Homo-oligomer: A and B are copies of this chain.
Amino acid sequence: MRNFIYHAPTRILFGKNKVNELGAEVIKHGSKVLLAYGSHSIKESGLYEKVVKILANSNIPFVELSGILPNPKIASVRQGIDLCRKHNVDFILAVGGGSVIDCVKAIAAGVSYNGDVWDFMIRKAKVVNPLPFGTILTLAATGSEMNGNAVISNPELFDKRAMGDASLQPCFSILDPTLTFTVNRWQTAAGAADIMSHIFEQYFTPDEGAFVQDAIAESILKTAIKFGPIAVSQPDNYEARANLMWASSLALNGLTVTGKAGGDWATHDMEHQLSAVNDMTHGAGLAILFPHWMNYVLNEITAPKFAQVARNVWNVVENDDVIAAKEGIKQTRLFFNSLDLPNSLSSQGFGEEHILDMAKKACLFGPIGALKKLNAEDVAIILRNAL
């Protein structure tokens, strides 16, 4: 096990009607709020009205940033930064899924930065004194509600990149599973795939000795595998929504990667290029790519780890590591299929013409991945296999 720092200070308020505690939480951190959200869905569900009422009752003035899109765009980030500066905002409230939260993190980092906020994404700037922020989560998927990472898209550059800093962790996150009852089948399935993908990225690494981390990772996988299908078929099943929601936070709050050099993240790097091209749902892109990445990096050296998850999570009974590994990969693909997630890039509008450019962009900063280093040629092969 490697040395690590684990610090996940976000206060989680979990459960039905926890939104009612919003006012008391905000007041601890700020006096003028940027209320950030996406589309009309929080207005249709009544959540918007509830939040606005609580802020008013708590005498907390606010300005609004709406229209944050899935795969949040740099334009929304810039708009949010302008609003914060103009209105002397000292706290941001994100109401939505990972896209809204990621957008808010970039805004929080950008307000005190003099250059253009895209600089954080291309590693030209470091986060210093971000604005504090909190979240009300409406989608179990990205885990952004309990970490300091964000992914932002730049449509002009056909690019999508991550930023992150320990100081960008939410002060609080309100997780009410009933807020996800209205999430449709597609987003629910993609969310489950996203949760599992985060675990895969942190589980399949060359590190040894992080036994307790891997055992916890397996627990979270089992949770997604058990409750993903239930939430898809019974959208208002509270236990399913609750377990998925808490699993989403635990899957990417540091718990399963501590003691390792870091995650693999090659599949995420590849997927970011997919969504940069056609704005596809992140979890769906990951569901297409992961089995292909697994097959590509599977060899005699990596087989034991793939066999481990096959046995411990997919209940594969097989002594040979390579055979067990292959069976586990097959089970992974079948599981995603069972959730009606897509299993080919061509079904999502991708063709050979996209491959080389996406492969090149995925490797902009050099080879990607940790379990096996992948250069642009490797990535092109994986993407082509996934067509």
Contacts and interface: CB of A to CB of B under 8 A. Distances in A.
B7 A14 contact: no
Among A216, A238, A255, chain B packs the most CB atoms within 10 A around the CB of A216
Among A1, A13, A223, A238, chain B packs the most CB atoms within 10 A around the CB of A1
Interface stretch (A31-39, A108-116, A241-249, A339-347): A241-249
A12 B3 contact: no
A87 interface: no
A321 interface: no
Given A11-B5, A14-B259, A258-B14, A227 B239 contact: no
A246 B11 contact: no
A11 B167 CA distance: 13
A158 interface: no
Contact of A3 (B5, B9, B15, B247): B15
Contacts of A40: none
A299 B2 CA distance: 44
Interface of A: 1-18, 177, 208-209, 211-213, 215-216, 218-220, 222-223, 226-227, 238-239, 242-243, 246-247, 250, 255, 258-259
Contacts of A12: 4-7
Given A3-B18, A13-B5, A220 B212 contact: yes
Given A211-B226, A216-B219, A14 B9 contact: no
10 contacts: A2-B15, A5-B13, A6-B12, A7-B9, A14-B258, A211-B243, A212-B243, A212-B247, A212-B250, A246-B259
Question: How many copies of the polypeptide does the oligomer hold?
Answer: 2
Among A18, A219, A255, chain B packs the most CB atoms within 10 A around the CB of A219
Given A212-B250, A219-B219, A247-B212, A1 B259 contact: no
Contacts of A208: 239
- Give 3 closest A-B pairs by Cβ, nearest first: A3-B15, A215-B219, A9-B9
A282 to B, nearest CB: 22
A261 to B, nearest CB: 13
Contacts of A10: 7
B8 A8 contact: yes
Given A218-B219, A219-B215, A259-B246, A4 B15 contact: yes
Contacts of A7: 9-12
Contacts of A11: 5-7, 9
Contacts of A3: 14-18
A212 B218 contact: no
A8 B239 CA distance: 23
B218 A1 contact: no
Contacts of A15: 1-4
Given A3-B15, A209-B242, 9 more contacts: A1-B238, A1-B239, A7-B10, A8-B8, A9-B9, A14-B259, A212-B246, A216-B219, A242-B259
Contacts of A177: 1
A232 to B, nearest CB: 17
Contacts of A1: 15, 177, 238-239, 242-243, 246
A254 to B, nearest CB: 9
Contact of A209 (B4, B218, B239): B239
Contacts of A243: 1, 209, 211-212
A52 to B, nearest CB: 23
A158 to B, nearest CB: 37
A239 B212 CA distance: 10
A220 B10 CA distance: 23
A14 B243 CA distance: 29
